[in-house]
A = this chain, B = another copy of it.
């Protein structure tokens, strides 16, 4: 799909605030409401925009501890591991990756005791390596236009 300057302006605005009204969005990108509505619809249908999500602060809802867990899991166990992860409310995200870990899992837990219990439930699938999140110096931020090349 073609991403001209206007489309990038729309993406930038909606990544920053997904609850913008179409009217306000139209004003910001200097288009009419129907034009911007049509563009947003196309971006959604083309799979460029995959969803709109409210961010909830884990700390504020009882999860005092976040962690990234790498796990090295042998092929025959992978499906059962994923089933376990999908069923665990502590798991916020899971990536299949190259390198010494098979998967990297983002989890939230109440405290260290809860984290220990969670790890206990998965470490028979493989060796785990846990990195507790101390802070997030760069919180999730917007994807920017890809420069043609170079940098």
Contacts and interface: CB of A to CB of B under 8 A. Distances in A.
Given A61-B3, A61-B145, A89-B144, A96 B136 contact: yes
B61 A55 contact: no
Contacts of A1: 60
A133 B96 contact: yes
A86 interface: yes
Interface of A: 1, 3, 11, 14-19, 46-58, 60-63, 68, 70, 82, 85-86, 89, 91-101, 103-105, 108, 110, 117, 129-147, 149, 151
Given A95-B136, A97-B131, A110-B149, 14 more contacts: A48-B60, A50-B57, A52-B55, A56-B143, A61-B145, A62-B145, A63-B146, A70-B131, A89-B147, A92-B143, A94-B137, A94-B138, A95-B137, A99-B132
8 contacts: A1-B60, A17-B52, A49-B57, A51-B55, A56-B142, A61-B146, A95-B131, A99-B129
